Structure 1
């Protein structure tokens, strides 16, 4: 199989996944992974289809493979870090989820989804303080609610130390 065939088959599998036929996409992506074991993009799409199907344990090795490989776009790398961290959290691997998601936030500090999933994983590890700080900071920074925006400075201030009183 050549690179043109790979591109055509990968695009068809992604269309199947996004078109509501994830199991068919999964079968095609597994075949592509066998043919292109070092291909990070194929591994990423295979991980994603496993997530769509609720097969997080099966998704994890594909996320790891794509993140260890080369050739993954920055947007896909962002998605793979979120997917791996989220899958680890769903599987009860909370410490690993925090590690992966924290690394994602460090690499992509503007990504609110990564910060949100990190907050969830931190909650699962019992770090409620940092979890709440992250969520309050994100709320203050991104909310379009006029009432939240009115108190943005106060929310940001108290996010730093929720025990502080005036």
Structure 2
């Protein structure tokens, strides 16, 4: 691995993960993360490889490292926030999941996946009303179902006030 530069090593590891060889990718990324401990892209890819393998607890420090630095492209930052929030949730660290996903939604307000994962984390913390509001708003805005489209205004109104009797 020494003969290749950082970019080539990272690209090789990502290709391995994308081909379903996450274990091999993880080993390469761990080595790369050891050589580039402050590199947010390497940290993000290392976190992702751990997540793919179901090693959520091991993924957390890499996600945190990726998000602590600067220079992570917006798409990767969004992915790291979603990955960390989702991973916190899987680990039962619900308040951290909510905080991370709220931060993500603030940074990427138009991202429906982030809002969906936030709703799931809110459910886990007892925030049922807010979770339902988020999901109803997403449903009303994004559904192609003719019945949903027909009642879109009513659904949007209920999303604002679940106790309303429209």
Q: TM-score range by the shorter chain?
A: over 0.9
Q: CA RMSD in A?
A: 1.2
Distance (whole Å) between structure 2 residues aligned to residue 29 and residue 142 of structure 1 = 37
Report the Cα distance in structure 1 between the residues aligned to 2:33 and 2:121, rounded to whole angstroms: 30
After TM superposition, which residue ranges in structure 1, 4 or more long, deviate above 4 angstroms?
Answer: none
Q: CA deviation at 1:78?
A: 0.3
Look up the SS of the partner of 2:163 in the other structure: coil
1:164 equivalent in alignment to 2:133: no
Alignment size in residue pairs: 165
Q: 1-side partners of 2:15 and 2:62: how far apart?
A: 19
Q: What is the distance in 1 between the residues matched to 2:150 and 2:24?
A: 49
Structure 1: 5+ residue stretches without partners: none
Q: CA deviation at 1:81?
A: 0.4
Question: 1:74 is matched with which residue?
Answer: 74
- In structure 1, distance between residues paired with 2:145 and 2:77: 31
Cα drift, residue 98 of structure 1: 0.3
Tell me how far apart the structure 1 counterparts of residues 140 and 80 of structure 2 sit (CA, whole Å): 26
User: CA deviation digits over 1:42-70, x for unaligned, max 9?
Assistant: 00000001110011101110000000011
Counterpart Cα distance in 2 of 1:107 and 1:150: 32
